[in-house]
Structure 1
Amino acid sequence: MHFRGHLGSDAPDPALEIIEQVKRMPVPVLGLVPQRHLEDWDAFGIASSGHDGELYSCAVSISYTLWRNPHNIDDPRNLAELDDALRVELGEDVPWDRPAWLLERVRRMRYPLLWEAVTTHWNAEPSAHDAAPAQLAAHVNHILMNGFRATRVRGAGGDGGPGELDSPVDERHAEHGVTLLVNGYERSGIRIDTDPDVYGVGVALDDASCVTAVVPRDELRFIDLAFATRRF
């Protein structure tokens, strides 16, 4: 039910359909191991390509809420850095009922989000562009373009253009032979440790899939970059 263009209180949560799509990923979806500073609340993203019901490629991302002090949620250290306009908007009451899932999304906007921190990539017919080093480099650049626009993106004005990323990385920046844990086992992985704002790691899972993780350096001390299969 809608009211003047606003979501009614009985509007379904669109995340439920995304979760069902994620479950159909041809390979297991990986995330970070459970840990006290991160909250996994089913914040999935999915991108795929295919034709006539046949899937050619798929990427599933997971975002996490970061708790700098998980023992006291009300600690101001747990709050995100918001501009004044957004802070006022989040505090405003609206004269209509909103669905519970939307209220929860609004509440979470007050806290830091590690947006699309982990992505599982799969390609039916992988090329060199789908290998772990290239996927990790693309993930790093993706996080920089969207999470560090004010400082790292040139020409991103009000015309809606994407702008140009300052000092992007590529697969040549990937360092090989880095030991990473996947489901409790040591695997030979890669990392990109050359960017001043983010740090990234990745592991080839098989010939067709890999997993990558990219997090802000400022929050790196809170995070254990070890992977585990995400259960549903």
Structure 2
Amino acid sequence: MAPQPSLEDAGLVSLQESTDEDGWSQVSASLTYQLWRNPANRDDPVNLRELDEAMRRSLEEEPPWPRPAWLIERVQRMRYPLLWETVRTNWSREVSEYVSVARQLVEHTNYILMNQYREELGLGPGPTIDGMWSVTEAAVNPVAASLDRVEVPAVEIDTDPFVYALGLTLDEHTSVTAVIPREHLDYVRIAFATRVTRE
């Protein structure tokens, strides 16, 4: 996502890859962000997420052994909402309809729904198959999006009651998608920025 006060890179990157005899055939990297509803005052209770009683107890319990500072900080961060795997960059060696930005946006959206909204969707434990709960490519519409402050062609899914999704093609092999919970849309500017990597 483009830098903005309400979002902080949580330092959590999820990687998925597929290989064959020629090496990597597909790779995706997903980023998770910490959400700050009031970034000017991180101590503001509005920044806290809703916790059930079991989660609250587990965060407040002190173990009988010392914990390193990084772990204490990570536990404290669990009190605040995360945009879990909200931005995903996808690369595919082969160019096909299967790896189109529309297809990738649908897959990313269903992945977030299946993993973050199971109870709301009435999904039981265990493996899940697509059904009435899942979105399809029929829900994908053309729009424009911001990439490095330039408006570019994009696609969106704006039909799901729980999430809004936006994606765009970076080149014929690469796309980027974002899936944002609707409850957080007022706090997020959905714009993409190229991340500079260092050797």
Deviations 1:44-74 (A, max 9, x none): 1111122468211100011101011111112
Contact 2:37 2:47 in 1 (8 A): yes
Q: Give me the identity figure in percent.
A: 45
> Is the counterpart of residue 199 in structure 1 residue 168 in structure 2?
no
> Is the counterpart of residue 179 in structure 1 residue 144 in structure 2?
yes
Q: Spell out the pairing of 1:4-83 with structure 2 (5 A cutoff).
A: 32-51=1-20, 54-83=23-52
**Secondary structure of the equivalent of 1:136?**
helix
Deviation at 1:162, TM superposition (A): 3.0
Could you tell me how far apart the structure 1 residues matched to 2:154 and 2:121 are? Answer: 27
Aligned to 2:57: 88
Q: Spell out the pairing of 1:60-139 with structure 2 (5 A cutoff).
A: 60-139=29-108
| Alignment CA distance shift 1:49-1:101 (3 Å) | farther
> Is the counterpart of residue 141 in structure 1 residue 141 in structure 2?
no
Contact 2:118 2:124 in 1 (8 A): no
Could you tell me how far apart the structure 2 residues matched to 1:91 and 1:215 are? Answer: 29
TM-score by length of 2: 0.92
Deviation at 1:101, TM superposition (A): 2.8
Deviation at 1:194, TM superposition (A): 0.5
Deviation at 1:99, TM superposition (A): 3.1
Aligned to 1:222: 187
- Specify every segment of 5 or more residues in structure 1 that has no aligned partner in the other structure, as ranges: 1-31
Deviation at 1:138, TM superposition (A): 0.8
Deviations 1:87-126 (A, max 9, x none): 0110111122223332222111100000011000000013
| Alignment CA distance shift 1:72-1:128 (3 Å) | same
| Alignment CA distance shift 1:47-1:99 (3 Å) | farther
- Specify every segment of 5 or more residues in structure 2 that has no aligned partner in the other structure, as ranges: none
Deviation at 1:163, TM superposition (A): 4.0
Could you tell me how far apart the structure 1 residues matched to 2:91 and 2:67 are? Answer: 37
**Secondary structure of the equivalent of 1:180?**
strand
**CA RMSD, aligned part only?**
1.6
Contact 1:49 1:55 in 2 (8 A): yes
**Secondary structure of the equivalent of 1:227?**
coil
Could you tell me how far apart the structure 1 residues matched to 2:184 and 2:22 are? Answer: 40
**Secondary structure of the equivalent of 1:228?**
coil
Contact 1:57 1:123 in 2 (8 A): yes
